[in-house]
């Protein structure tokens, strides 16, 4: 048996529309959407009476999908914790882009900003972190040729 690939990355959100808009603004495309409930979902997540909605997004060139999940039942009453790049746990999703300044400018127009600057790492990459909605942090990387 061998591991084949990363299929998707799941992100639980409270505001599905805002999270979806952020990733669409980034350049991902909708691959599918669905309402999810029933015994099979209960069995997978380990809750009873699950009702959720998902939006599956993909990069134009492929790779692992992003699955945004909104739980209507059961609710998590805790507030969203705004993480920092050094907060333990899964912290960011990195996307390679061909023009980092253009992507940052497009996201700035939508109200999303870098956590720091857009520095160059040696002759290899330009990099930055961007805070999205719901505590989501993404990294943008432009490979230098």
Domain assignments of the chain as residue spans, ordered by start = 8-73, 93-143
* Equal CATH topology for 8-73 and 93-143: yes
How far, in Å, are 86, 104, 129, 136 from residue 69 at the CA level? 24, 25, 22, 13
CB 65 within 8 A of CB 56: yes
> Class of 93-143 per CATH?
alpha beta
CB 116 within 8 A of CB 86: no
Q: Which CATH superfamily is domain 8-73 in?
A: 2,3-Dihydroxybiphenyl 1,2-Dioxygenase, domain 1 (3.10.180.10)
List the pLDDT tens digit at each of the 145 positions of the chain. 887 888 899 999 999 999 999 999 999 999 999 999 999 988 988 889 999 999 999 999 888 899 999 999 988 777 667 778 788 878 889 999 999 999 999 999 999 999 999 999 999 999 999 999 988 999 999 999 8
pTM of the model: 0.88
Pairing of strands 8-12, 65-73: parallel
Question: Alpha-carbon distance 95 to 25, whole Å?
Answer: 13
């Amino acid at each position: 048996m061998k591991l084949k690939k990363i299929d998707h990355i799941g992100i639980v959100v409270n505001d599905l529309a805002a999270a979806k808009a952020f990733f669409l603004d980034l350049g991902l495309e909708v691959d599918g959407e669905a309402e999810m409930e029933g015994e099979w979902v209960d069995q997978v997540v380990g809750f009873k009476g699950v009702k959720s909605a998902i939006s599956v997004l993909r990069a134009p060139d492929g790779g692992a999908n992003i699955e945004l999940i909104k739980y209507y039942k059961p609710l998590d009453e805790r507030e969203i914790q705004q993480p920092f790049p050094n907060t333990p746990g899964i912290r960011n999703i990195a996307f390679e882009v061909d023009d980092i300044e253009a992507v940052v400018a497009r996201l700035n127009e939508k109200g999303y900003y870098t956590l720091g600057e857009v520095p160059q790492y040696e002759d290899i990459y330009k990099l930055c972190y961007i805070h999205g909605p719901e505590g989501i942090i993404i990294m943008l990387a432009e490979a230098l040729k």
